[in-house]
Structure 1
Amino acid sequence: MNSRRLLSETRRTFLATKVQRQQPSQILIVDVTSPSWTDTCSVLSEALENILCLACSLTGPCRVPLLSLYVVQNQQECLLPFTQVRENFGRIQACISELRSLPREGCFPKAGNGVIQAVQDGLQQFKQYCRHIAAGGSTNTSVEITILTCQSSKEIVKQLEKKLKDVDLVNLRRIQVTEVLKRDFLEPEDVEQCMPAEEPTNNDIAILGMDIDVQTIEDNVISLEMMFKTWLHDYGTEREHLHLLLPSGGFSHATAPKTTLICLKCDLQERLLDPSLLSGSVDGAMRAADLNSPCQMAAWPATMLYKLRVVKALKSEGVCESVLYGLPFIIKPTSCWQLDWDELETNQHSFHVLCHSLLKRQWMLLAKREPQDPGANWNIMVHSYYVIVPSDSASLLIKAIAIRELLLPSTFPALLAEHPERVQGPIESALNSLEVEVAYNPLHLKSNLYKYLKSMLYKPLPRQQVQPRDQRPERHQPKQHSSRAKATVAPLLMAPSPVQAFRPAAGRRDGCEHSLSPREYEEFLQ
C-alpha cells in the first residue's frame, strides 16, 4: 500500500502542473522484429483498421484527435506523421496498407534501441506540433504512447527508465508497453479462444510522475481491438463525475436527518458506444449525448458533475425490465487525482462495502438526479430517476427508469395453465432444437458494422498515388511519398545518437534528420 501511495503522490504532484482537458493524441509504435511478425501483421492491421474506422465515424467531440504510427525494423520508421484522425480515413488506410506489406520483406533482426528511439522521436515531433498549434491560439494537448512488441516488456521498461529520465515529458500522459504473446493458430469462429484468458497484467511505474503501464495480450484480432478501444474511453482524472448521496443513518427516515448525507465520489464509464453517434446525423447524435437533457446522463465527455440522491431501496425481483430505458453506464469509485490519498482510499472502501451489501440484501437503489444549481428557483426542474444495480465486480450499473409522465397504459394477461397439444408440441420442438448458452457473450455476434463504416468512409486515392511497395524506386533514388500523410508541422533537428551517426541517410524515413530553412518550413506547412 505504501508503494501505491508513493506512486499516487508522485503522479498527483506532476499532474497538478498540467491539467488535461482534452483527449490525448496517440503514438503507436510497432516492433516488427519478431519471427512471427507475418502472422501478427494481419491481425494487428485488421484490429487497427476496425477501431480507427469507428473513431472516424463517431460524431461529437473527437476521441482520437491525432495519430502517429512508427514501425521498428533495423531502425525506426515513421509510416504516419501526426495526422488528424477524423476525415482522414483514406490516409490512415493507406498507412495500414503499407503496414500490411511489411511481411513481404521477411523477418528483421532485433531492433536494439529502435523502440526507444521511436519514443524519443515521437515525443519531439509532438512537442513541435504543440508549439505550432499554440502559435495558432490553440491549447496544448497531451499524448499517449502505445508500444506493441514481442520482446520482453521488462527490458523495454528498463530502457525507457534509463533513456527518458532526462527528457521533457510535460506533454506525455502515459506509455503503455504491450507484450504480444503468440498462441497457436485459432479458427476465426472460435471466439471463446480469441478472448484473453485473464485480465491483462498491469504494473504502474512512475517516471517523473508519468505512468508506464505494462500488459500482455494474446495475438488475435479481438484482444488487439479491445486494447485499441481504450483510446475511445475518457480517462480524464481532473475531477470526479458523480456524487452518489446516501442518508447517513441508513434507510430509516426516523433515525436519519434528511440534511445529513453520505457522499460517495464516483466516475462514470460507457458500457456501450451509442449507436446514434454512428448514424451520420449530427443533430440526432447531439440530442443523444445532450448533457442538459433531464432524463439522460453522458459518461463521455465528463464535462459536468452529476449528483444522484438515493431515495429508496428496491427488491431486485420487483423491477420490471420494461420500465428501464437508455444506454447503461458503469459507476466506479473515482480516481480523481485532486483528492487526497486518504480520501480516495476511504471512498473506495465505502464503495466496495455498498456493492457487497446490496448484493447480500438483493437490493437495487432508486436515485433522483439533483439539480445542477439548487439556487435557481425560477426554473422548473424536471426530475429524472435512475436505478442502480450491483454486480459481482467492484462496480455498479446505472440505467434510467420510467417516470409517471412517460408511462403508457398496458395490460398483462395471466398465462394460461393448459394448452392444446397440437399447439404446444411444435413450439416445444422448436425450442428443443435451439443451441443453449449458459451466458450471453456479445463477442459471438457480428453485425458487419466495421465493413459498413469502411465502405462509407472509403475514398480511393488517385491511381498515380498508389504504388505497390515492391515496385517503388530504390531508396537511394529521389522519390515522393505521396501515399503517406503529410506531417502537420516541420520536423525538429535531432542530435544524432552514436548509432544513428553511422546510418545511411537514405535508409531513414522518420523525417527528423535535418532541419529546414525558413522558406522550406513555409513550403512544408502548405
Structure 2
Amino acid sequence: MYHVITAGKMNQVIDEVQLQRKAFSRQPARAVLVDFRPPMDSGTCLNMVQALTDTLMLACNLTGSVRIPLFSLITLGLYPEALYPLQSINGNRVKLLGALRELKVLCSSTLPVSSRSCLSEGIDEALIQLRRQQSLNNSSNSNTSSQLEITIVTAISSSTVAHQLSSLSNCPTLECVKRIQVLCVHEGERMLSSEQEDELNLLGEDHSELLASLLDILPIENDVLSFQSVFQCWLHDCNMDSEHLCLLLPAATDGDEVTVRCDLYERILDPVLLPTSLSSHYLLTSLLDHTMETTKQQPLLATGHTQHVPRHKLRAVSLIASGGVCESVLYGMVRQPLLLCPSHPLYPH
C-alpha cells in the first residue's frame, strides 16, 4: 500500500518561506566519451546519438537558466578525438549538429580501434579542455563551471572498465571531476553478474577513495528511451549546496517533529520555457481562476537568467492512501509537478 502525505491545505501549503537560493547555479560541464571498441555496434551507437541529439537540442532551445553550461563530445578509437571541444551549446547549434552528424557517420562505418584502452587518455583530454576553458574565462572575467561530469558510453564489461580506469587513481586533476558515469550497454542477457559486482566493490579497496567515490557504473538497455532517461537528468538542478525544501513530519511518540531535507526534481518541463510563439499564449486548463491568471501573467525568462527561488518548509498534516488521490490534484491544478528526494538523513528539528 502506497501512501501520500498531504502538506497543509491547497491555499496554505507553504508553512514558512526562508532564504532564497539560486537555481541551476552549480551546473557542471558535461563531457561524453564514446568507446567504439567491440562489442559496440552501429545500432547501439545510433540509439545513443538519437537520445543525445534530442536532449541537447532541447537544452539549446530552453529559455531561463542554462542547464548545460559547457559540453564536449569525444570519440575513443585509435586515440581520443574531440568532435565538439568543450564549449557552450547555446549559440553553437549549427556546430553542435555538425558534430552529432559526424558521430552518426562514424557509427555507421567501420572505425579502427586500438587494441589497448584509451579511456584514461580520453578523460585526460576532457580535463585539459576544462582547464583551457577556465583559463579563457578567467582572462575575460567570465563565470565557468568549476566541475566536470564525464559520461562514458561503452559495450565493454563493467569490471573491465573499472580495471582500466584504475590508472587514474593517482591523477591530481580528478579533484575538479564531479562524477565519472560509465554506461555499460547490454542486450538484456548481458547483465551485471555478482562476480562483476564483487570486482567493482574491490575498486575502493585497491585504489584511491577519490576514484571509488567518483566512479558510477550503470548497466543500461540498448534502446533510445534508456539513453534518454540518463541524458535528460542533465537538465535537473544540480545545486546541492543547500536543501531545496524541508518536510516536517510529526514525531511517532511524544517529542520533537522530524525534518526531512529534500531536493526537488522536475518531472515535466514547463512549456513556457520553450521559445515558441505558443509559449507566450500557453494557458493551463484549470478550475482555479487564480491559477490561470498566474499562468497568463508569468513573464518569459531570458536565456541565462538566474532564477532565485525560495526555500520552503512543508508540514505534514495527514496521511492518505495513494488510491484516494485524484490525478487532477497532481497534474491538473499544478502546472509543474516536482519529485521530492531526501538529501540528508532524518534528524530532530
Selected match of 1:74 from 68, 71, 78: 78
User: Which structure's residues are more often strand, by fraction?
Assistant: 2
Structure 1 segment 143-182 matched on structure 2, within 5 A? 143-182=148-187
Q: Which residue of 2 aligns with 1:266?
A: 262
1:227 Cα deviation after fit? 1.5
Residue 130 of structure 1 aligns to a residue whose secondary structure is: helix
1:212 Cα deviation after fit? 0.9
1:306 aligns with 2:312: yes
Any idea what the Cα deviations from partners look like across 1:235-256, whole Å, max 9, x if unmatched? 3322211111234477xxxx88
1:39 aligns with 2:34: no
Q: Are the counterparts in 2 of residues 245 and 308 from structure 1 also a CA contact under 8 Å?
A: yes
Selected match of 1:59 from 59, 63, 78: 63
- Change in Cα spacing, 1:333 to 1:108, as seen in structure 2 (3 Å) is same
Q: Distance in 2 between matches of 1:96 and 1:163?
A: 28
Q: Distance in 1 between matches of 2:320 and 2:33?
A: 50
Structure 1 segment 350-499 matched on structure 2, within 5 A? none
- Change in Cα spacing, 1:313 to 1:284, as seen in structure 2 (3 Å) is farther
Q: Which residue of 2 aligns with 1:331?
A: 340
Q: Are the counterparts in 1 of residues 51 and 224 from structure 2 also a CA contact under 8 Å?
A: yes
Residue 175 of structure 1 aligns to a residue whose secondary structure is: strand
Structure 1: which 5+ residue stretches go unaligned? 1-19, 185-195, 336-343, 351-526
Q: Distance in 2 between matches of 1:226 and 1:302?
A: 27
Q: Distance in 1 between matches of 2:342 and 2:320?
A: 22
Q: Are the counterparts in 2 of residues 241 and 266 from structure 1 also a CA contact under 8 Å?
A: yes
1:118 Cα deviation after fit? 0.9
Q: Distance in 2 between matches of 1:110 and 1:210?
A: 28
Question: Looking at both structures, which has the greater relative contact order when contacts are Cα pairs under 8 Å and sequence separation is at least 6?
Answer: 2
Q: Which residue of 2 aligns with 1:106?
A: 110
Q: Distance in 2 between matches of 1:67 and 1:249?
A: 48
* TM superposition score normalised by structure 1: 0.49
Q: Which residue of 2 aligns with 1:89?
A: 93
For residue 138 of structure 1, what is the amino acid of its counterpart? S
Any idea what the Cα deviations from partners look like across 1:74-115, whole Å, max 9, x if unmatched? 111111111211232211111011111114541434452322
Any idea what the Cα deviations from partners look like across 1:290-325, whole Å, max 9, x if unmatched? xxx8xx9xxx97854211123445576665555551
Residue 226 of structure 2 aligns to a residue whose secondary structure is: helix
- Change in Cα spacing, 1:265 to 1:107, as seen in structure 2 (3 Å) is same
- Change in Cα spacing, 1:281 to 1:164, as seen in structure 2 (3 Å) is farther
- Change in Cα spacing, 1:67 to 1:92, as seen in structure 2 (3 Å) is same
Q: Are the counterparts in 2 of residues 35 and 107 from structure 1 also a CA contact under 8 Å?
A: no
For residue 278 of structure 1, what is the amino acid of its counterpart? L
Residue 45 of structure 2 aligns to a residue whose secondary structure is: helix
1:212 aligns with 2:215: yes
Q: Distance in 2 between matches of 1:214 and 1:315?
A: 36
For residue 34 of structure 1, what is the amino acid of its counterpart? P
Q: Are the counterparts in 1 of residues 87 and 133 from structure 2 also a CA contact under 8 Å?
A: no
Aligned residues: 291
Structure with greater Cα Rg:
1
Structure 2: which 5+ residue stretches go unaligned? 1-23, 285-293, 299-305
Q: Distance in 1 between matches of 2:214 and 2:30?
A: 15
Q: Distance in 1 between matches of 2:27 and 2:267?
A: 18
1:125 aligns with 2:129: yes
- Change in Cα spacing, 1:262 to 1:108, as seen in structure 2 (3 Å) is same
Q: Which residue of 2 aligns with 1:399?
A: none
Q: Which residue of 1 aligns with 2:6?
A: none
Q: Distance in 2 between matches of 1:241 and 1:35?
A: 42
1:27 Cα deviation after fit? 0.5
Selected match of 1:48 from 26, 49, 52: 52
- Change in Cα spacing, 1:113 to 1:313, as seen in structure 2 (3 Å) is closer
- Change in Cα spacing, 1:267 to 1:117, as seen in structure 2 (3 Å) is same
1:240 aligns with 2:248: no
For residue 66 of structure 1, what is the amino acid of its counterpart? L
Q: Are the counterparts in 2 of residues 174 and 211 from structure 1 also a CA contact under 8 Å?
A: yes
Residue 216 of structure 1 aligns to a residue whose secondary structure is: strand
1:223 aligns with 2:226: yes
Q: Distance in 1 between matches of 2:317 and 2:111?
A: 63
Structure 1 segment 179-194 matched on structure 2, within 5 A? 179-182=184-187
Q: Distance in 2 between matches of 1:146 and 1:316?
A: 36
Residue 172 of structure 2 aligns to a residue whose secondary structure is: coil
Provide the identity percentage. Answer: 31
C-alpha RMSD of the superposition:
3.7
Q: Are the counterparts in 2 of residues 161 and 207 from structure 1 also a CA contact under 8 Å?
A: no
Q: Distance in 2 between matches of 1:302 and 1:174?
A: 26
Q: Are the counterparts in 2 of residues 270 and 330 from structure 1 also a CA contact under 8 Å?
A: yes
* TM superposition score normalised by structure 2: 0.71
For residue 264 of structure 1, what is the amino acid of its counterpart? V
- Change in Cα spacing, 1:314 to 1:155, as seen in structure 2 (3 Å) is closer
